[in-house]
Amino acid sequence: MKMRLLLPLVLCVFALGCARGTPAAPPDAPAETAGEPAPAAPDLSGELALPTAPPEAPSAATEEPASPTLMQERPTVEITREAPLEPSAAIRPTETVPLEPAGWNTPTMVSPVEETVDRSGSVIDLTGVGRQAAYDELSFIAVEPGRYLGKTLRLSGAFASVYDDYLGCTFYGCTVMDVTECCRQGLDFVPAPGSEALTASLAQEQPITVEGVYCETVINGVTVYRLENAQVRAD
């Protein structure tokens, strides 16, 4: 009777110990069958490995050094410094000619016909020279009027008259153009009592000959050089 009661008790204790020693499988995991090994974990090393760049091929410069023969055949450029060019006579600066002549009787400017004006006497006659020579002499008179003060000047040219608003008087003149007919020079004059009527009747650019003494006068504070007591003749 006792053996019958102990046998079921021993079997229960043995079953309980076996249940505690073996862990139960999770509900989703498949039950292992007897005699089949567990499946191995998947190898992810190939998928997670980063791609690497292929090794660079050696360059041609490192593999094949430059040939010394090719380096010797390279053309060379020689730079030479030329001597500075001498300026031609056409572009060289001309020498400055002094305005004042070397002598009183030496002409300041030479006309194309090589005419000269005689300044040695008390009368300077510009009627016996060409138009360019007369123009050159008048240009010198305008620059150096003091050299001609007190001398008698005789000139043939074109009549001109103009009224000066600032000085409040009329100026009469005898003018000469150069050979290019681009520039004009002349002498102012005050007609003598016997020539006043003739002077008043003259037309602009009418040919005349005038002769008078070259003098200096002051009008309203302005210094004026002109022929005083001039004799006028219509040509």
What are the chain's domains? 123-234 (2.40.50)
**Strand-strand pairing, 152-164 and 207-219:** antiparallel
What backbone torsions phi and psi does residue 75 show, to the nearest 5 degrees? -70, 145
Distance CA 32, CA 46 (A): 29
Pairing of strands 152-164, 169-177: antiparallel
The stretch 90-99 carries a mean pLDDT of 47
Q: Residue 193 has what pLDDT?
A: 93
Tokens of 226: 């002109």
- Beta carbons within 10 angstroms of residue 85's beta carbon: 6
Residue % of the chain over a pLDDT of 70: 51
Q: Name the residue with higher pLDDT: 12 or 222.
A: 222
Tokens read off for 29: 């995991």
Most confident among 7-11, 14-18, 28-32, 125-129 (mean pLDDT): 125-129
Q: What is the mean pLDDT of residues 74-84?
A: 60
pTM as predicted: 0.52
Q: Which position has the higher pLDDT, 204 or 23? A: 204
20-59: burial string, b at 16+ Cβ within 10 Å, e else: eeeeeeeeeeeeeeeeeeeeeeeeeeeeeeeeeeeeeeee
